Amino acid sequence: MDFESYWQENKNFVLSVAGGALGFLILFLVLDSSYGADVRSGRARVSRERAKLAQSFFTQADLTRAQAENDDLVGSSAKLAENAVFTARPAFLLEAGNGSPSNQYFGRVDRVQRELNLVAGRARCVLPEGLGLEPLKTNDEQVIARHLEALDLLDRALHRAIDAGVDRVARVEVALDPGLNSRSGPGRIERTSLTLRLVADPPAIADFMLRTQSSKLGPLLVDRYDARASPGRVDEVTLDLVLLAVRLHETVTGDED
């Protein structure tokens, strides 16, 4: 092909392409002079950070120390759980082959009531009729086992109240954990609550509260309490107290099979 002829026929096209290429080169040089250093610096910084991420920041000593701290936390958690969980005494546990659960429960209630009434009578402490317990209308073994635990807790609390010189026990109420019979269950922590209302002079109430935390007898888990002067009586205190019998359950997380 004759270049002279091609140039004559396509001169405008060649000049347009050459002008565009020149303009692009000039624009590239302008941008590079203005932003090129920042871009190169940014790329270098990204490369350095990638290199850091590829490195290990933790040594074997760090791993050993973390494992030791984890072991300490697990041990402390187990100790706290041991102290929080209520352990019923053998006399308040259901016995296989010793009659129906309900009959075992009623038998233990009768025995505890007789023993407490005898001790309370000697100390001139007034207890509610039937220990204030609602009639149990179920054959559910799980429910009966919880009521036996509550009876054990009540027995411990009332003995301490009588020994402290409490004048009167005005209220006894047992409530099982609302989640016990629900589809989702009680969750990690199951709480059976025992609500008491005690009436006595201030020293007796103070003595009773100290006895609830006695390490020798075993502390009782207090959920909440409210002590106030009895209406019209400056020398008498009414104490509303909620004690707990706690059970802990293992829970399965969603990622476990």
Q: Which of 66, 82, 98 finishes a domain?
A: 82
Q: Which of 32, 65, 82 finishes a domain?
A: 82
What pLDDT score does 23 carry? 64
Question: Residue 127 above 80 pLDDT?
Answer: yes
Domain count, the chain: 2
C-alpha dist (Å) from residue 120 to 82, 113, 124, 173, 174: 32, 10, 6, 19, 21
Query: In this structure, are residues 236 and 229 in contact, taking their beta carbons and an 8 Å threshold?
Result: yes
What pLDDT score does 40 carry? 67
- State the Cα–Cα distance between residues 137 and 111, nearest whole angstrom: 19
Question: Residue 251 above 70 pLDDT?
Answer: no
Domain containing residue 71:
3-82
What pLDDT, in 10s, does the model give residues 191-243? 999 999 999 999 999 999 999 998 788 899 999 999 999 888 888 999 999 99
Type of residue found at 100: S
Regarding whether 139 and 57 lie in a shared domain, the answer is no
- State the Cα–Cα distance between residues 132 and 252, nearest whole angstrom: 38
Question: Residue 255 above 50 pLDDT?
Answer: no
- Predicted TM-score (pTM) of this structure: 0.69
